[in-house]
Amino acid sequence: MVTEISAQSEFQTLLNDHTYLVADFFATWCPPCKAIAPLYEQLSKANSAPGKVTFTKINIDEVPELTAQFQISAIPTFLIFKNGKQIEEIRSANAPALKKNVENIAAEVKGGGAQEQEEEKKKLEFEEDF
């Protein structure tokens, strides 16, 4: 489910309450924004997880303070945050990049992350030796 942000405080609350936050900065008058919206909605439905992954939409005309804070100069722009810090920026309606980044997040959330899986595997191999 995509949450439409109407205030900076609402964004901050979601950012604090989720490991990952994916933000779509858009405008209602923007054709590329409209074109990628169905994919964003689909990715949100398939990958949202309470407390772990949330998807937001931020209308640049209605929440200009967030637009300024993140120096959004092109739309759509997708920002991805992990533990409150921005880790990725996707400018324009780049569907393959958006999909790849969301799939990576989903894999990490479901599998605990590649590094954690590798550490767990080494731990199990070590225990088998004894």
102 contacts: CB under 8 Å, gap ≥ 6: 22, 43, 47
Q: Cis before residue 76, ω within 30 degrees of 0?
A: yes
Question: Structure pTM?
Answer: 0.84
pLDDT in tens, the chain (130 residues): 899 999 999 999 999 999 999 999 999 999 999 999 999 999 999 999 999 999 999 999 999 999 999 999 999 999 999 999 999 999 999 999 999 999 999 999 988 655 444 554 454 555 555 4
CB atoms within 10 A of CB 115: 9
Q: For residue 74, what are the domain limits?
A: 2-128
Number of domains in the chain: 1
Q: What would the two tokens of residue 116 be?
A: 């954690």
The CATH number that applies at residue 8 is 3.40.30.10
* Interstrand relation of 20-26 and 53-59 (parallel, antiparallel or unpaired): parallel
Nearest to 26 by CA among 5, 54, 48, 47: 5
Strand 20-26 versus strand 85-91 pairing type? unpaired
pLDDT at res. 110: 86
What amino acid occupies position 69? Q
CA–CA gap between residue 85 and residue 81 (Å, rounded): 5
Catalytic residues: 30, 33
Residue 118 has a pLDDT of 53
